[in-house]
Structure 1
């Protein structure tokens, strides 16, 4: 049987530790969880059953395994120590019988984005970032259509544009919109991306600060920041934000204070078959993150190869994995916002703000 494993790790320390160790999660304060996460061993979470390819009718089996490090610890520990912990988790996946390994959340972006980890394992590794790009943009296009934003006239922004996902996503955005704002911590990296974006057909500008987001109609948030960085003050009325980042880039204050913007959780897909993940990782039944779905789709296809590694993803691979995933029955999930289903009323409120703009009054 085709098989896979996928690594997750605690994003919200107390909440996520309680999912597997209820008593420990309740008793330990958050600073203690951060500290001790460096000393916990890799954790077996569950066996995944019931995922079945629409194309072949065959079921794949899989396992969820956990690297214990929190995002804060991944950023504060020496990189070699972080690599060692992720590799140890990958070796647990190998012992379980997985034939391909997917890296989730910060395990996919730390250091060289999977390259070093892959060199130390016997099975191929993927970050899942190619399919994450495809699904995030699909969600952004659909949301834009729902609220009435005409893509050809829109300004888009990418927060985290210098990262693996942001770099290729900005190029694909430039094929659909008139202007792309590139935001990130390192202006020199953004400058190197600007000509690539402009070559795809859109004007490209470098954001001096997140205040520049107030000019954007569409925002793709893919920064690897360990804390939320986009607040209510950064968004224009009628804007659509697709937040792909784990942890989230968009502050919960946006949901509380800005009914005139639409924030959607990006990178979520519905999995084919009667998926039973055997573990609650925070999503509704049969839903998975796109990075996980890429790993599963590759197993279904028998493509046991290091598909998405490093920080130079190709447009060709983004398009290919989107076709493979569709072939096997993966599809864009319904819209969630901060983990809750979006209502028609929420979408309509934002649509009314978009219609109120003079230049789009007839859209």
Structure 2
């Protein structure tokens, strides 16, 4: 009897794992792993493929649960039937990879649960009320609160309590509890999104690539700059008081961050181009702090790849790498190679374009304030980098002196030699010392340092600073110096009335240029314009500057 019971449970698992709905949809040319983007399951499927296919797929899933329990009923042991219900559900949630390939579906299994409840009631393993009550609780919670995941867990909790009250053996009670545990683990991301306020409710239309001609969908990867940013995500807010009270160490939080896979933490709403096209953008995060990108580049690349896959599953067609994500995996090249099904961009082209667009305005404002630009000294911090050198090349003809500051003096000298040949009337010096910044009237900074590099002792009163660094190169204390103006660089205001549940720290309604590039690619469909690697084509820079104006994006200066 024990061997036969075990065999039936194995068969129940395999029945539950059969991708019947997936096979049906594939015969119609659809991929459920993309069309059902683990947002709202059957509701999303209904909108995507229509009532006929959705109903047939639903019936097949429910049938798997029913058949698994009916087979187990041949032993006439209620405990084995409840265990078979658990086995079928686990099979649906964790099918053998051979059945689906590299991308497994992310269905919630609610219809399988409905099938097993029907089977348990029909076979007499549990009384009708014990099978019907969880369904009623599910309907009540879903109708009142709107969260399908919460409703499922409430229904399964009701079932576990009901079975605990019935005169059944311990295996049945543990199996009922196992259904709740398995569902909780499957829905952990949904629960996190509920805490973050980003989980869609019943009735909300979930945006997906190609679903509507007037709506495009993008995704963008962010990360916390400090532990303070770590708490800003709702699902981690509970850690803040524990760290402040010394109950949890900062080292433990950092260790936790290394093991958190990418998750959806926010969404940008209200972006609408001048042509009337709506751009929806998911904000994804794996909470690695800046130093981990330097110390664990393989981990960072792995998380970026996972983020790209999540973006595709959520229905996005373009995935942008923000902040330090933009430099992982050969600046996105390795990420694109690992996930070719979605367009990846590091945002470099439009970031360069915003600098090109912003500098003339900054210089004009500087002169308009009564300052003599031709007699001014300008400093470029991070001048070993491509972006900063481009700034130096732009401003050199317009000022009296340029200070090029960087880490590699030999490389700086080679760059300075090029500038001197083209700007014979401009004094150009190179240095590795931040103390020289004290004489600068204008300062342009674009380093990749994870911490501020410019402090009050480096800045004279009245200086203007264009901070292109991400994170910011200028310490907040600098703003207290009389007459100093700090201008954030690479900041763009998308068209429409953008709102977000996450503070991106670029000002209300504003985003970094790398995110704006992601949105522009999605809006125009010009996926070949993506920025990958260290090289940025001039034609792509010009494209993004031109298209940004057409679509209604404006550079904040």
- TM-score between both structures, scaled by the size of structure 1: 0.82
State the match for 1:117 in structure 2. Answer: 335
Distance (whole Å) between structure 2 residues aligned to residue 203 and residue 99 of structure 1:
48
1:37 partner SS: helix
Matches within 5 A, 1:186-265: 186-198=408-420, 201=423, 203-256=427-480, 258-265=481-488
Distance (whole Å) between structure 1 residues aligned to residue 216 and residue 393 of structure 2:
34
2:284 partner SS: strand
State the match for 1:133 in structure 2. Answer: 352
Structure 2 unmatched ranges of 5 or more: 1-214, 244-248
In the alignment, does 2:237 pair up with 1:22? yes
State the match for 2:280 in structure 1. Answer: 61
Distance (whole Å) between structure 2 residues aligned to residue 170 and residue 8 of structure 1:
29
State the match for 2:254 in structure 1. Answer: 34
The answer (yes or no) to whether the contact 1:34–1:72 under 8 Å persists in 2 is no
Work out the number of aligned pairs and report it: 331
State the match for 1:348 in structure 2. Answer: none
Q: 1:174 aligns with which of 386, 390, 396?
A: 396
Cα displacement string for residues 163-217 of structure 1 (whole angstroms, at most 9, x for unaligned residues) = 3422333333335444432222222332343345446545543223111212322
Change in CA separation of 1:112 and 1:173 when aligned onto 2, cut-off 3 Å: farther
How far does residue 16 in structure 1 lie from its aligned partner after superposition?
Answer: 3.7
Change in CA separation of 1:240 and 1:64 when aligned onto 2, cut-off 3 Å: same
Indicate the RMSD between aligned Cα atoms, in angstroms.
Answer: 2.5
Matches within 5 A, 1:1-363: 1-20=215-234, 21-28=236-243, 29-54=249-274, 56-77=275-296, 79-110=297-328, 112-122=330-340, 123-136=342-355, 138=358, 140-141=362-363, 143-198=365-420, 201=423, 203-256=427-480, 258-305=481-528, 307-333=530-556
How far does residue 65 in structure 1 lie from its aligned partner after superposition?
Answer: 0.5
2:303 partner SS: helix
Higher Cα radius of gyration: 2
2:258 partner SS: coil
Distance (whole Å) between structure 2 residues aligned to residue 315 and residue 176 of structure 1:
22
**Bigger shift: residues 240-249 or 16-25:** 16-25
Change in CA separation of 1:99 and 1:193 when aligned onto 2, cut-off 3 Å: farther
Distance (whole Å) between structure 1 residues aligned to residue 365 and residue 222 of structure 2:
28
More strand by share: 1
Distance (whole Å) between structure 1 residues aligned to residue 414 and residue 258 of structure 2:
36
Structure 1 unmatched ranges of 5 or more: 336-363
Distance (whole Å) between structure 1 residues aligned to residue 346 and residue 473 of structure 2:
19
1:109 partner SS: helix
Distance (whole Å) between structure 2 residues aligned to residue 116 and residue 311 of structure 1:
13
